Amino acid sequence: MTRRSLPLAALTVMLAGCSADTTGYPSLAPRPAETIGFEEPSTPPPAAPRADPALDARIASATTAQASAARAFDAGATRAEALATAARGVAVGSDRWLDAQAALAELDSLRAAYGDTIAPLEDLAAERAAALQPAYPVLDQALEAARATSAAQTRRIDAIAAMLKPA
How many C-alpha atoms does 105 have within 13 Å on its Cβ side? 6
- How do the domains of the chain map onto residue ranges? 59-162
What's the first-to-final CA gap in the chain, in angstroms? Answer: 104
Of 104, 38, 109, 37, the closest CA to residue 77 belongs to 104
Q: What is the spatial distance between Cα 45 and Cα 50, in angstroms, rounded to a whole number?
A: 15
pTM: 0.70
Question: What DSSP state is assigned to residue 40?
Answer: P
Residue type, 159: A
30-62: per-residue pLDDT in tens? Answer: 888 888 878 887 888 877 778 889 999 999 999
Q: 118-140: per-residue pLDDT in tens?
A: 999 999 999 999 999 888 999 99
Task: Give the single-character DSSP code of 167.
Answer: -
